[in-house]
């Protein structure tokens, strides 16, 4: 099975840090974010190749330089960002996905020790064309209050809440047939995977949701986010080892 790491985003939420290096290289517990992800994916023996998609002609070149001289049991291939959206990037990398019935897609700012084996099995059992990691509970970063008749009756400090809708995380298992769906719309200048491709498939019942339950997950939007969530970060990194 092959895995694709999308690391070509501009990282606008992490500025001014990402004016000098890509978000993928934000330091997390002593090494770059993308190194944790590559090491974790490599721990699943059925993943035999990892494709890293980024703008290697720009800041992404730092990612290539970081990995070039590192020894890793899993083969790493670098694919130039197409600049045509998330779905366009998949099409651009499709030459490396031949004879692959399904593949993993991981957006680089996602940090989670998700069980890829179970998620892939879930994808196959549901016979879906796409499977997205989701969660329905979230630990808030701020304090909340219980209000009754305009009076606060109780304070809840950073509670874990049950969300009304499932939150989609940036980790997917996709059937290779999804590339055909993207090719049908390749006349578009830019294609967003979620809105231009998966939205239609969802209406056809072809997208399944793999709930991560209480497993911690973090959107590494910036170094500031990591600083505010030190305990969560340490827990995730420990689970990823």
Give the fold, CATH level 3, of 2-240.
Spore Coat Polysaccharide Biosynthesis Protein SpsA; Chain A (3.90.550)
Q: CA-CA distances (angstroms) from residue 114 to 135, 137, 151, 157, 190?
A: 11, 15, 41, 27, 29
Cβ-contact 5, 96 below 8 angstroms:
no
pTM for the full model? 0.92
Could you read off the pLDDT of 49-99 as tens digits, one per residue? Answer: 999 999 999 999 999 999 986 656 679 999 998 878 899 889 889 888 988
Query: Average pLDDT, whole number, for the chain?
Result: 91
Contact between 220 and 26 (Cβ < 8 Å): yes
User: How many C-beta atoms lie closer than 10 Å to residue 236's C-beta?
Assistant: 23
19, 71 contact by CB (below 8 A): no
Instruction: Give residue 82's pLDDT.
Output: 81
More confident residue, 21 or 10: 21
- State the pLDDT at residue 14: 67
**How far is it, in rounded angstroms, from Cα 55 to Cα 84?**
12
Asked if pLDDT for residue 16 goes beyond 80, the answer is no
pLDDT of the residue at 187: 66
Q: Rounded CA gap, 177 and 102, in Å?
A: 8
State the DSSP code for 203.
H
pLDDT at 221: 87
- Could you tell me if 118 and 46 are in contact, meaning their C-beta atoms sit under 8 angstroms apart? no
**β-pair type (2-6, 102-107):** parallel
């Amino acid at each position: 099975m092959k895995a694709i790491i999308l690391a070509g985003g501009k990282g606008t939420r992490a500025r001014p840090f990402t004016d000098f290096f890509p978000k993928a290289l934000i330091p997390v517990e002593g090494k770059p974010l993308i190194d944790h992800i590559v090491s974790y994916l490599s721990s699943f023996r059925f993943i035999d190749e990892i494709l890293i998609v980024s703008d290697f002609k720009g800041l992404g070149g730092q990612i290539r330089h970081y990995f070039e001289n590192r020894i890793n049991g899993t083969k790493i291939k670098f694919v130039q960002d197409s600049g045509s959206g998330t779905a366009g990037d998949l099409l651009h990398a499709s030459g490396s996905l031949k004879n692959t019935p399904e593949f993993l897609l991981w957006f680089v700012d996602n940090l989670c020790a998700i069980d890829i084996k179970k998620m892939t099995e879930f994808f196959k059992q549901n016979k879906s064309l796409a499977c997205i990691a989701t969660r329905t509970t979230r630990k808030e970063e701020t304090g909340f209050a219980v209000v009754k008749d305009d009076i606060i009756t109780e304070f809840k400090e950073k509670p874990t809440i049950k969300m009304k809708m499932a939150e989609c995380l940036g980790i997917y298992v996709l059937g290779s047939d999804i590339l055909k769906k993207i090719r049908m719309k390749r006349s578009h200048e830019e294609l967003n995977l979620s809105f231009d491709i998966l939205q239609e498939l969802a209406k056809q019942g072809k997208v399944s949701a793999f709930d991560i339950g209480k497993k911690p997950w973090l959107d590494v939007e910036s170094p500031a986010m990591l600083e505010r969530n030190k305990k969560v970060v340490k827990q995730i990194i420990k689970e990823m080892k």
